[in-house]
Amino acid sequence: MAFPNRKSAVGEGLYQPQADINVTPLVDVMLVLLIIFMVTAPLLATGVKVQLPQAKAAQPLNPKEPVLITVGKDGKVSLGPDEVPADLLVDAVKNKLGEDASRVVHLRGDKEASFGDVVAIMDRLATHGVTHIAIVTAPNGKERNPELRP
C-alpha cells in the first residue's frame, strides 16, 4: 500500500481542502435553539404562582362605575337609564365624568343599530376630548345584561 508523497501539491492525494461551507450543522443548532425558546417563552411570562393573602381594608384601584352610553336599534342614545338627545350627549358625559379623566366610557350598540350611528357617537365624544372609550360586546354571542337594553 502506497502513501501519498508529502511533497505533493495541495489538492492532490488523499486529503483535499473543502471550499464550501457546510450549513447543515448551523441549521440543526438554530432549530434546536428555536424549539428551546418556543418552549421556555410561555413559562417566563406567567410568573410564579402564589396564594395571595386576603385583606379586609383593600379597595379596588378604580372603584368608580364607568359611564354607560347605549345606542338603540332606532338610533336613540341613552346615558345610563336616561335617554339623551345626541347634541347634548357630550355635555352630559363630561358632567358625569367630572374631573376624573381615568374613568372609562362604555359604549353599547344594539346589534340591529346602524354602525354609522355608533361611530358618530364615538367620533363626537373623541372630538370633544373624551378618549377613554370602550365598546361593549356580549361574550359568545350571548347578551349579558338584557335589562340594560333600551
Strands 67-71, 105-109: pairing is parallel
Q: Is the residue at 139 inside a domain?
A: yes
Q: Is the residue at 141 inside a domain?
A: yes
Per-residue pLDDT tens over the stretch 67-107: 888 888 888 888 888 888 888 888 888 888 877 766 788 88
pLDDT at site 59: 63
pLDDT at site 4: 54
| % of the chain with per-residue pLDDT over 90 | 9
Range scoring the smallest mean pLDDT among 16-30, 35-49, 102-116: 35-49
For residue 53, the 8-state DSSP code is: P
Burial 53-64 (b: 16+ CB within 10 A, else e): eeeeeeeeeeee
The range of the structural domain enclosing residue 134 comes to 67-148
CATH code, domain with 101? 3.30.420.270
Q: Is the residue at 84 inside a domain?
A: yes
Q: Is the residue at 37 inside a domain?
A: no
Provide CB contacts within 8 A for 80, sequence distance 6+.
67, 68, 96
Count of structural domains, the chain: 1
